[in-house]
Structure 1
Amino acid sequence: MKRFSGGDQSRAVAIWLFATAALVFAMVVVGGVTRLTGSGLSITEWKPIMGALPPMNAADWAEAFEKYRAIPQYQQVNAGMTLGEFKGIFWWEWTHRQLGRIIGAVFALPFAVFLLAHLLPPRSLIGRLAMPRRLIGRCVVLLALGGLQGLIGWWMVSSGLSERVDVAPERLAVHLGLALLIFMGLIWTGLEAWNGEEHSRHPVGWSRGAAILLGAIFLQCLLGGLVAGAKAGLVHTDWPMMSGELLAPVDWGKGALAFLHDQALVQFNHRLAAYGLLIGGTVYAVQAWRWRLAEGLGMAAFVLAAALWLQAALGVATLMNAVPLWLGALHQAGAALVLAVATVNLWLVRRSQPRLFMSGPRSTVL
């Protein structure tokens, strides 16, 4: 049977991708809560299939608790924890892993249907769902990254099961970073599916600026992952100083590892990057206004700048309150939302017409 080439756009594919992105967002937030509650090491085995079932009876719970009691975190941090308290942290980690399984199913099963549609008559019920061919490769990459994320999640957890009482900060940052890359990819591909392919040339200068801003925000998220992994938000909780000092009191005896593990330096780098982003985002928004960008583009620039300022204020509040659970989770959610806004902003710039940028800044026409 002749294969049917899908159309240029597909609203069904776009909705599927946006729904998956929403689940990844939930996964990021639950992952933050899992970290803040110290729950990430409560499940000491990696069972992608069998692990979908939680302990079903008293004997299963006793076995899971006994395995947790054998690792350093219990012995050095949670010694004396009751079974009831263990269940409290277990359910957060189980929910986090279960969300990963759900995301895998929500992505893989409809993807198979969208691919199958290419083999069926285009006017049939399923044939109408054929995915645009230009998006198939991207979705294959996203599926592969999702599988890799599961492996990296276990690689992260395994770092805290023998010699440490928590996971390695750099591994946590990698795990978070890949989740956010998948999140960005889902949003971008969803926008492409919803709107179809655009063949016009984009304004190189503005596209480069929007891409740099997006990259800087992503880097800041990774620095935030290091702060979380090193528990750096629990120290130097004054602002704008750090325990009364202008510069971070760094223990340089750790050498190059200080950039990953020293609480003061990790937090200081996160602060500096935040200041840079606030300046860059504000300048970007002002320039968007001066150059009289198209309404959608100008609005995206201002929304991005506002989101950066709100996230910075939330970060300061989170720090000065020593990272309470609700503020820590909200700050992590905010980071993902800022990244989403920056992704949409770059997509809009790359889809814009060059003529929209050629009228010059406002100051030249007033």
Structure 2
Amino acid sequence: MRARASGRDRCAVSNPRDSDVPYRISVALRLWLFAVAGLVFLTVIVGGATRLTESGLSIVEWKPLTGALPPLTEAAWQAEFDKYKSIPQYEILNRGMGLHDFKVIYWWEWGHRNVARLTGMAFLLPFLWFLWRGALSRGLVVGLSAIFALGAVQAGVGWWMVASGLADRIFVSHYRLAFHLTLACVIFSALVFTGARLSARPGEATPWRLRAGAGVLVGLVLAQIYVGALVAGMRAGLVHNTWPLIDGALIPSARDLFFADPVWINFFENTLTIQFTHRMVGYALALVAILHLVDATLSAGGRRGVRLGALALAVAIVVQIAIGVLTLLARVPLDLAILHQGTALVVLLLATLHAERLTRPGPAAAPAPDLVLVVR
């Protein structure tokens, strides 16, 4: 008695190139998603510089398509400048500004919007191509469609944020700013996670504590980014510029932390409470990362990649805290503030990759061979 492969399997074996197609597609998908994640990173950095230079309100209209072109004549530049002169920020903060200075802040906001437009196109066009070629599984189509939907929402949130600063105030709402930045970071993390999940290497069994710890770290990083955005939006980094003391103490008095009523509003509108919360979440994040590193070292066995991932994340968090302290002590200079924001994304990148590694499915059981039994 001997076993003979069916015709379907003989075709698969006789053409070994067929087995390479899924691998090549997965590599292309990973490169694409990581490239889009890189553009999201760039968008966030340019957006941070736009905020720090007080440039975000220089374009007072939202034109998703025609807004991609800047003013091309002096008359067009003057028209844009006249629109800016009609909002409170010009009257209160920049009254007397010349056209040349207006062009500087205009280019920052224009650059931010156009990097965002490029990111959207860099995602949508390859996505449609991969979809047309039938290269995406049903689950991947759903996941990538959700990411694109978040990107579309993010564009609307960006204008919603800008609109909050065009009347009755000279800065955008810090609530909307924090939501805008955090949503961008969620999209960044989703792109990185999805790209890494396309790896052909199967996961390994890891203790539930490590998997849960990795997920908690991603959540804490996003929470810290949100609180950091509140600090930025409230200009809370320009007050209490001492460390480790804040307002003369390690822990400020409850009277100063919670003077507003209701109590919860202090976490969003009291600059002392917001900055103190940002510090405490940072300390908690570092502590959890170090405990996670110890757990990974003691329980990961021979899985060197898990230990290195936990170590890289813990080190990045400590470095980020140090940069944050320097930024605070220096009263938020542009270069350190941008470095602080960029390093936050690096921490999120490492946390996401580490969580993906620990939660990646293991090798699937091999399917039973399709055999035809021939009895002699």
What is the deviation of 1:81?
1.2
Structure 2: 5+ residue stretches without partners: 1-20, 364-376
Q: Taking structure 1 as reference, are residues 133 and 7 closer, same or farther at Cα in structure 2, changes over 3 Å only?
A: farther
The answer to whether the 8 A contact 1:108-1:143 is kept is yes
Q: 1:199 & 1:353 partners in 2: Cα distance?
A: 4
Residue of structure 1 in register with 2:331 after alignment: 322
Does residue 177 (structure 1) correspond to residue 182 (structure 2)? The answer is yes
Shift of 1:253: 3.2
Task: State how 1:100-119 maps to structure 2 within 5 Å.
Answer: 100-118=116-134
Answer with 1 or 2: which has the greater Rg. 2
**Matches of residues 45-60 of structure 1 in structure 2 within 5 Å?**
45-60=61-76
- Paired amino acid for 1:261: E
CA contact (8 A) 1:7 1:131 kept: no
3-state SS of 1:313 partner? helix
Q: For 1:150-299, what aligned pairs fall within 5 Å after superposition?
A: 150-195=155-200, 198=202, 203-248=207-252, 249-250=256-257, 252-253=259-260, 255=262, 256-293=264-301, 294-299=303-308
Distance in structure 2 (CA, Å) of the matches to 1:116 and 1:282: 46
Q: Percent identity?
A: 43
- Alignment deviations for residues 313-339 of structure 1 (CA, whole Å, 9 cap, x no partner): 000000000010000000000001100
List gaps (5 residues or longer) in structure 1.
1-5, 119-129, 355-366
- Measure, in 2, the Cα distance between the counterparts of 1:265 and 1:292: 39
The amino acid of 2:60's aligned partner reads T
Aligned length: 338
| 34-43 or 258-267: bigger deviation | 258-267
CA-CA distance at 1:113 after TM superposition: 0.6
* TM-align CA RMSD: 2.0
2:203–2:362 Cα contact (<8 Å) kept = no
Question: Normalising to structure 2: TM-score of the pair?
Answer: 0.86
Q: Distance in 1 between matches of 2:313 and 2:260?
A: 39
Kindly provide the CA deviation profile for residues 194-252 of structure 1, in whole angstroms up to 9, marking residues without a partner as x. Answer: 337x5876642221111011101110010011011111111111111123233344472
Runs of 4+ deviating beyond 6 Å: none
Q: Is the 8 Å Cα contact of residues 197 and 360 (structure 2) preserved in structure 1?
A: no
Q: TM-score, normalised by structure 1?
A: 0.88
> Aligned residue for 1:3?
none
Q: Equivalents in 2 of 1:306, 1:149: separation in Å?
A: 31
- When residues 84 and 332 of structure 1 are mapped into structure 2, their CA distance, relative to the original with a 3 A threshold, is same
Shift of 1:254: 5.7
Q: CA deviation at 1:87?
A: 0.8
45 and 19 in structure 1: CA distance in 2 versus 1, 3 angstrom threshold = same
CA distance in 1, matches of 2:116, 2:261: 35
